[in-house]
């Protein structure tokens, strides 16, 4: 099943591994909530709502380049070390 970018962003914000990854970006690193992970997505993508990812090409590119790709790479490294 293929998901749109808005759905992917929503699922990521609730994913325990993504939440852990976001926590590593806080200073100092700490545990964050699903809402804080969602806020992180909105902040990095420079949107008020994740729905804007569907219509704002710049925000979509920021999502892929600064969130999705780095998170997937981090998750793959974690799996290699497990």
At 2 the pLDDT is 54
Cα–Cα dist 24/30, whole Å: 7
Q: pTM to 2 decimals?
A: 0.92
For 32, the token pair is 């964050």
Every domain of the chain and the residues it spans: 5-80
Task: List, for residues 48-59, the tens digit of each pLDDT value.
Answer: 999 999 999 999
d(CA 56, CA 68): 16
6-49 confidence digits (pLDDT tens): 999 999 999 999 999 999 999 999 999 999 999 999 999 999 99
């Amino acid at each position: 099943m293929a998901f749109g970018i808005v759905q992917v962003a929503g699922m990521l914000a609730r994913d325990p591994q993504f939440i852990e990854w976001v926590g590593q970006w806080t200073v100092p690193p700490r545990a964050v909530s699903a809402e804080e992970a969602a806020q992180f997505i909105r902040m990095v993508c420079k949107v008020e709502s994740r729905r804007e990812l569907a219509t704002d090409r710049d925000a979509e590119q920021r999502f892929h380049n600064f969130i999705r790709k780095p998170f997937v790479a981090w998750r793959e490294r974690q799996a290699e070390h497990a």
